[in-house]
Structure 1
Amino acid sequence: MDDSAATRRRRSRSRVDAPAHGATVGHIVERLRDDVLARRLTPGDRLVESDLTQRFAVSRGPVREALRRLAAEGLIEHAPNRGAVVRRLSPRDICELFQIRFEIEALAARLAAQSADMAARARFSEEIAMIFTDTPRRMSDYLDENAAFHAAVLRLADNAQLAEVSARLRLPLIMAQVGDALTVEVMNVSVCEHRAIAKAIIEGDATAAANAARAHLERAAALAVARREADAEPRN
């Protein structure tokens, strides 16, 4: 991306985001996180403190704290001579994160299927009803639905430590998966996989639920790695 394009994009965001009396650290974190997940900020983009202080009408202190929190989430990193930049995951990073996520998702699905809390199971069925609709999905709709589905599985699994570990891994993985790779076909396949996981959970088949969750994440990992490798290829 050339400097003029970056400047136009920063100016566009500043017109929308600058609040009348300054932003809180939480607000800054939320907006920058949204920018990364929506790919308004892409891997390698710089986060310039002076631009952010103007955008959010704050001093450098809140901006630096927001950047520190985003770095802790794995969304940004500090590069030599460049300052804060949106983190660029390597294919190995993605593989390693997904190796952990395979186990987390499989365990969550297994525990959810084994839940004996009938009220919680009923809530789960209500919360995931959207995955059984055939309405065409935009990317933003799919990402919201995807997050809601996996959150519902974790709630039914009812393991606070598992949910905490999963939350720490969610954002970098979404960042690796979104973008041009999320075609209509890819999203439709993912929805079908969600339905298979949900069916096994509802039927109480813990083994099938865990296997379906693992297969879903294995495909997502392959997709994410392929996209990252394509991004890394030199362009003429």
Structure 2
Amino acid sequence: MDSSTTRTKMTVEEIVDALRDKIVVQELAPGVKLREIAVASEFGISRPRVREAFSILEERGLIERTHNQGAVVARQTAGQIEALFDVREVLEALAVRLATQNAPKGTWDVFRERFGPRAIKAIETNDMDYYVEAVNEFRRKTFQEANNEILSQSLDRLYDRTRVLIQRLVLMPGRAAAALEEHRQVIEAMIEGDAVRAEQLKRANIVSARRWFQDFKKFLL
């Protein structure tokens, strides 16, 4: 495919998604400079379209731009991460409550198994990929069943800014086992249809994650 064809077909949203993925998995690490010419050449797109994508990424807090300095991948300070935990505690717990209220009976049964013996074994054998994917699957289903577009968009943006931290946090000694038990309690409350208790337990899960971050932040930042 030549670059002229790419220019007519690649949308700004697709460019944003491609760059976002590189940033959140740290293929583009914090502090790395993003050059319009290089990005335009990589994706075969025009520089104005790159600037549009940069504006969206800046709005999402993934890059920073300064006059005459260009764009760099944003670094998250400890204070910013603490603030993100504050917002996650409220919004993710709200999503759990709405999902519990809205989802048909039996929706959450599969997660009892997903977070059961196999997850315990995965953590014991340091198979964190299984555990992280189980959490991501549960998160996606929760946001879907919450059925609130504004909430889902807000949580997606929060997750973009915390995904790498979350994945590194579960590697801290004892965190994955503790988080697994916390998720199991949330899921049991959801299975029982107790939306209020599920919300409370999800808030406790985020508070717990925040405490672990505070204890290990010198290793995480």
TM-score normalised by L of structure 1: 0.74
Matched letter for residue 121 of structure 1: K
Change in Cα spacing, 1:31 to 1:226, as seen in structure 2 (3 Å) is: farther
Alpha-carbon contact 1:70-1:76 (below 8 Å) kept: yes
Aligned to 1:43: 30
Aligned to 1:97: 84
Whether 1:61 and 2:45 are equivalent positions in the alignment is no
Q: CA deviation at 1:60?
A: 0.9
SS of corresponding position for 2:105: helix
Q: CA deviation at 1:35?
A: 1.0
Matched letter for residue 216 of structure 1: N
- Partner of residue 111 from structure 1, selected from 94, 98, 115: 98
Alignment partners' CA distance in 1, 2:34 and 2:64: 10
Alpha-carbon contact 2:108-2:187 (below 8 Å) kept: no
Whether 1:183 and 2:176 are equivalent positions in the alignment is no
Matched letter for residue 57 of structure 2: L
Alignment partners' CA distance in 1, 2:28 and 2:112: 30
Aligned to 1:7: none
Matched letter for residue 149 of structure 1: F
Aligned to 1:15: none
Change in Cα spacing, 1:188 to 1:49, as seen in structure 2 (3 Å) is: farther
Alpha-carbon contact 1:94-1:225 (below 8 Å) kept: no
Alpha-carbon contact 2:31-2:75 (below 8 Å) kept: yes
Alpha-carbon contact 1:48-1:83 (below 8 Å) kept: yes
Q: CA deviation at 1:141?
A: 5.0
Whether 1:146 and 2:130 are equivalent positions in the alignment is no
- Partner of residue 171 from structure 1, selected from 147, 154, 160: 160
- Partner of residue 130 from structure 1, selected from 114, 124, 135: 114
Aligned to 2:181: 192
Q: CA deviation at 1:53?
A: 1.7
Q: How many residues align?
A: 210
Matched letter for residue 38 of structure 2: D
Alignment partners' CA distance in 1, 2:197 and 2:175: 22
**1:94-146 deviations in Å (ceiling 9; x for gaps):** 1112111111122222333344x5xx333443477533333637555544433
**1:155-213 deviations in Å (ceiling 9; x for gaps):** 3333344333323322112244344x441753443333222211111112234312221
- Report the more deviating stretch, 214-223 or 126-135: 126-135
Alpha-carbon contact 2:112-2:184 (below 8 Å) kept: no
Alignment partners' CA distance in 2, 1:114 and 1:53: 46
SS of corresponding position for 2:106: helix
Matched letter for residue 50 of structure 1: I
Alpha-carbon contact 1:90-1:228 (below 8 Å) kept: no
Change in Cα spacing, 1:161 to 1:67, as seen in structure 2 (3 Å) is: closer
**1:29-78 deviations in Å (ceiling 9; x for gaps):** 22211111211111111111122122112221221111111112221111
Alpha-carbon contact 1:124-1:153 (below 8 Å) kept: no
Aligned to 2:200: 211
Change in Cα spacing, 1:128 to 1:42, as seen in structure 2 (3 Å) is: farther
SS of corresponding position for 1:177: helix
TM-score normalised by L of structure 2: 0.78
Q: CA deviation at 1:224?
A: 4.2
Alpha-carbon contact 1:47-1:85 (below 8 Å) kept: yes
